[in-house]
Amino acid sequence: MKTNVQGGQAASVMRRVADTVRQAVPAGADWRVLLPLLIGLLALYGPTTQDLLQTVWSRDEQGHGPIIFAVVLWLVFMKREAFAALPAQPRPGWASVWLLLSAVLYVIGRSQAVLMFEVGSLIPLLAGLILLFKGGCGVRLLWFPLFFLIFMVPLPATLVIAVTTPLKSAVSAVASNLLYAFGYPIGRSGVVLTVGPYQLLVADACAGLNSMFTLEALGLLYMNIMNYQAAARNIALALLIVPISFVANIVRVCILVLVTYHFGDEAGQGFVHGFAGMVLFLVALVLILTVDHLFNFVHRRVGKGGVA
C-alpha cells in the first residue's frame, strides 16, 4: 500500500512539472527545432558556466553573474507569448553576420581562455537566432534582455584595476573624513583605514568597478520595469546611478569600519561583511527610488506651471 501511495505521489509531482513546462513554453512551439537548439546551447555553454562558477562567479567582485542570468531568463519568460505571436520574418543575411561573429568570439575565447569573449559570444548568438526565426521585430521585442546580458560578461582585469584603484582611494578618503568628523579615531593610508587598534583594507568588492557595474544593472532593470518613455529621464537616471553607487559604497565601508571598531575584527569580517553587501544594494535601491520620486515631483510641478 505504501508503495502505491508513493508511486501516486511521484506521478502527481511529474504531472505538475510537466504542466509547469507546458506553461513556460509558448503555444505552438516546435520542439523539433527547440530541442536541438537547447542541446546545442548546453553543449557550448555548459563548460563555460562550469568555468565561471569555479572562477569569477565564486568571488565577491563578480558574483553577480548568476543573478544577471536569472533576471534575463525571467525577462524572456515574461515576453514569451508576445515573442511567439510575432510573425516569422527571418533575416538570414543579418543572422549569418551575428552568428559568424559569435562563432569567432567563442572560438577565440574558448581556445585562449578569454572569458570575456567566450561569455560575450552568447549575445550575438542569441541575436542571430532571433533574426533567423523572427527577424528584426523579435530583436526589438527582446532588445533589453540581450543588452542586459552585457552585465554578465566578466570585465577584463586591466580595466578593473585601472578604474578600481582611484575609486577605492576616493571611497576610502570620503569614508575616513566622514567618520573623523563624527569623532572616530580613524586614519587613512591609501586604501588602508586605521580605526582604533584595527586596520581595514578597502578591497575591490567594497568599492570597485564591479559593484558600480552591478548597481548600474540594477538601475537599468528598474527603469525597464517602470517602462518610462521619456528618453531624457532615462538617460538622466542612468547617469545618476554612478554617483548613487559611489555613495552606496561609502555607506558600506562606513558600516564595516563601525562594526569592526565597536565589535572587533571577527565581527567585521564575519556575517556582517556579507550583510554589508546587501546593505549596499538596499541603499542604492532607496537612492534610486528617491531620485525617481524627485523626478516625478519636478515633472508634476513643471506640468502644473506649464498649464498655468
Question: Alpha helix (H) ranges present in 113-199?
Answer: 115-120, 122-133, 136-141, 143-148, 157-181
Indicate which residue of 22, 252, 254, 300 is catalytic.
252
Active-site residue flag, 137:
no
CA angle 291, 295, 297 (to 5 degrees): 115
Q: 42: helix, coil or strand? A: helix
| Integer Cα distance of 48 and 39 in angstroms | 14
Active-site residue flag, 206:
yes
Count CB neighbours of 27 within 10 A: 10
| Integer Cα distance of 162 and 116 in angstroms | 17
All cell numbers assigned to 57: 562567479
- Name the burial class of residue 266, with classes exposed (0-12), middle (13-18) and buried (19+) by CB atoms within 10 angstroms of its CB: exposed
Angle between helices 231-263 and 271-307 (to 10 degrees): 150
The answer to whether 150 and 116 are in contact (CB under 8 A) is no
- Name the burial class of residue 140, with classes exposed (0-12), middle (13-18) and buried (19+) by CB atoms within 10 angstroms of its CB: exposed
Indicate which residue of 91, 188, 206, 254 is catalytic.
206
| Integer Cα distance of 149 and 136 in angstroms | 19
| Integer Cα distance of 7 and 241 in angstroms | 54
| Integer Cα distance of 234 and 204 in angstroms | 28
User: Which positions are catalytic?
Assistant: 206, 252
